[in-house]
Structure 1
């Protein structure tokens, strides 16, 4: 009986992951970045990676923020993705969406001034980051 329970659990988890993966693919197919938005996001990638590293190392930020950022860096470093990178557009879009969600969460918790303070790029790049992630530029 115990072996059957283990297999049921494993199959259930596999099916749940497959369904979540299919839902994510469908969502990305509908809202995928188009034209200049994708090019702009790719151009910002090195600055965003440096930003994430700097924020994760800032001891003045709440611990929860640093943990989220460390987990994000680990996810980006792993060769395993929700959608494999060899799939055109969607392969990199899942990473962009996850980074966007984590950055929004970080801004809500740490504040936009902290993100601005650690931004390694230009003012135009920061404005583009705010546009891509839906972050407000007011007050800066």
Structure 2
């Protein structure tokens, strides 16, 4: 399910400018809501993308776009399951995030070691 949902938004990430916009939007969201629970994983991905754009961490372009697409999916309130529907609205977001965390687990672990972010 997560892979299919991610493919829905991946075409929206066409260049690094789109990645920057997603980073800004997720940054605002995390400042508003904090970083508890699932948002800790979102924060980890966000930090990885920021360091990549600053040239402080090497990440393949394809991986960068896939991670940005996952964050974009997380941001969109009108995705497969509307986020404002109580209890079920974030199920699809969690599925996408779980898929991404599993698919890029080695890269995320490498990032934790390089950046010093606890895992």
Normalising by structure 1, what TM-score?
0.47
Measure the CA separation in 1 of the matches of 2:116 and 2:87: 26
Counterpart check, 1:48 vs 2:45? no
Number of residue pairs the alignment of both structures matches: 82
Q: Residue 81 of structure 1: SS of its match in structure 2?
A: coil
Question: Who is 1:97 aligned against?
Answer: 95
Q: Provide, for residues 5-60 of structure 1, a one-character-per-residue CA deviation record: whole Å limited to 9, x for no partner.
A: xxxxxxxxxxxxxxx99xxxxxxxxxxxxxxxxxxxx9323322221111223240
Q: Which has the higher contact order (CA 8 A, sep 6+)?
A: 2
Structure having the higher Rg? 1
The answer for unaligned runs of 5 or more in structure 2 is 6-34
Runs (4 or more) in structure 1 with deviation over 3 Å come to 115-120
Measure the CA separation in 2 of the matches of 1:119 and 1:104: 20
Measure the CA separation in 2 of the matches of 1:106 and 1:56: 13
- Of the three residues 108, 112, 116, the one matched with 2:109 is 112
CA contact (8 A) 2:82 2:89 kept: yes
CA contact (8 A) 1:52 1:69 kept: yes
Q: Provide, for residues 66-99 of structure 1, a one-character-per-residue CA deviation record: whole Å limited to 9, x for no partner.
A: 1111111222222322111233322111111110
The answer for unaligned runs of 5 or more in structure 1 is 1-19, 22-41, 127-140
Higher helix share: 1
Normalising by structure 2, what TM-score?
0.54
- State the Cα RMSD in Å: 2.9
Measure the CA separation in 1 of the matches of 2:104 and 2:78: 24
